[in-house]
């Protein structure tokens, strides 16, 4: 009996999404959209997880929006670093560097180090390169949509010049 239940469960798992008569496939719906989740990471200043969330979205379904969200996060990191540099908040730069470097508990016993000013330059160089790359990928998928989304983010940046990097534009979170 237990074996039959296990086999039935395996068949259901392997069958994929359920089909409801007359309505097509039913796929599970995420309680929190990727944009909302990434937006929360931005508000928390958890840029590593914001990047990972965007990368996961690209893995699941490459789209103009997914690539531009990733580009936006790279540019948000760059702008945040610029603001920290202007404020001479080197401790915060160091914290950002640690946030981007730490991935697993073994990092606690072998922490990545570095001087804050060097970390700023290294991170900015990398995020600028990656930003250009992901923006180009979005344009290749759909230039018109890419242009539209960048107009929205430009309006957002103009409306929030000193903290735009803390969140996605409101229109992106629909």
Cα distances from 67 to residues 8, 17, 73, 116, in angstroms, run 39, 27, 10, 29
**Average pLDDT for the chain:** 80
Distance of CA 139 to the CA centre of its chain: 18
Place of tokens 């893995």: 59
> Is residue 23 within 8 Å of residue 32, measured between CB atoms?
no
> Is residue 97 within 8 Å of residue 116, measured between CB atoms?
yes
- 1 pLDDT above the threshold of 50: no
| pLDDT tens, residue by residue, 75-125 | 999 999 999 999 999 888 988 988 888 776 665 555 555 677 788 888 899
pTM above 0.75, yes or no: no
Q: Which pair of tokens denotes residue 39?
A: 């937006």
Rounded to an integer, what distance in angstroms lies between the CA atom of residue 57 and that of residue 43?
Answer: 19
Question: How many Cβ atoms are within 10 Å of 157's Cβ, its own excluded?
Answer: 15
């Amino acid at each position: 009996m237990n074996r039959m239940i296990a086999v039935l469960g395996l068949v259901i798992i392997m069958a994929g999404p359920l089909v409801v008569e007359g309505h097509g496939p039913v796929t599970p719906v995420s309680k929190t959209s990727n944009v909302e989740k990434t937006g929360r990471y931005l508000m928390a200043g958890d840029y590593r997880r914001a990047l990972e969330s965007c990368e996961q979205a690209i893995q699941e379904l490459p789209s103009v929006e997914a690539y531009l969200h990733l580009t936006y996060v790279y540019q948000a990191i760059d702008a945040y670093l610029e603001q920290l540099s202007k404020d001479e908040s080197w401790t915060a730069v160091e914290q950002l560097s640690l946030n981007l470097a730490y991935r697993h508990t073994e990092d606690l016993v072998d922490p990545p180090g570095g001087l804050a000013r060097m970390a700023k330059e290294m991170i900015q160089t990398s995020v600028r390169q990656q930003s250009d790359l992901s923006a180009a990928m979005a344009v290749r998928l759909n230039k018109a949509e890419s242009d539209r989304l960048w107009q929205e983010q430009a309006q957002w940046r103009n409306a929030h010049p000193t903290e735009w990097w803390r969140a996605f534009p409101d229109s992106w979170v629909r």
